[in-house]
């Protein structure tokens, strides 16, 4: 079983948790919802990501 961790705070993301997937041009990252909100606002504003997805 793979454990997904938030790329910023390293908190474990369980399947039942909300999380954010951000697709960068070079990689795709997973964040918990708290970090995800912060980072996606910043990244989208600066056009640094190609796609973002909120998983519920
Ligand atoms: Zn986090």
Measured distance CA(12)–CA(21) in Å, rounded: 14
Structure confidence at residue 55 as a pLDDT band (50, 70, 90): confident
Question: Which has the higher per-residue pLDDT, 6 or 53?
Answer: 6
- Cα radius of gyration rounded to whole Å, the chain: 11
Query: What is the whole-number distance in angstroms between the Cα of residue 20 and the centre of ligand 1?
Result: 10
Could you report the per-residue pLDDT of 1-38, keeping only the tens digit for each? 688 999 999 999 998 889 998 887 778 889 999 999 88
pLDDT of residue 11: 96
Task: Using a CB cutoff of 5 Å, list residues around ligand 1, an ion.
Answer: 6, 8-9, 11, 32, 35
E strand residue ranges, the chain: 4-5, 12-13, 19-23, 28-32, 51-55
Measured distance CA(24)–CA(13) in Å, rounded: 20
pLDDT of 50 > 80? The answer is: no
Query: What is the whole-number distance in angstroms between the Cα of residue 21 and the centre of ligand 1?
Result: 12
């Amino acid at each position: 079983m793979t454990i997904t961790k938030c790329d910023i705070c390293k908190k474990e993301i369980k399947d039942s948790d909300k999380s954010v997937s951000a697709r960068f041009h070079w990689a795709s990252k997973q964040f918990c919802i708290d970090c995800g909100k912060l980072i996606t606002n910043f990244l989208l504003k600066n056009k640094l990501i190609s796609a973002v997805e909120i998983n519920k």
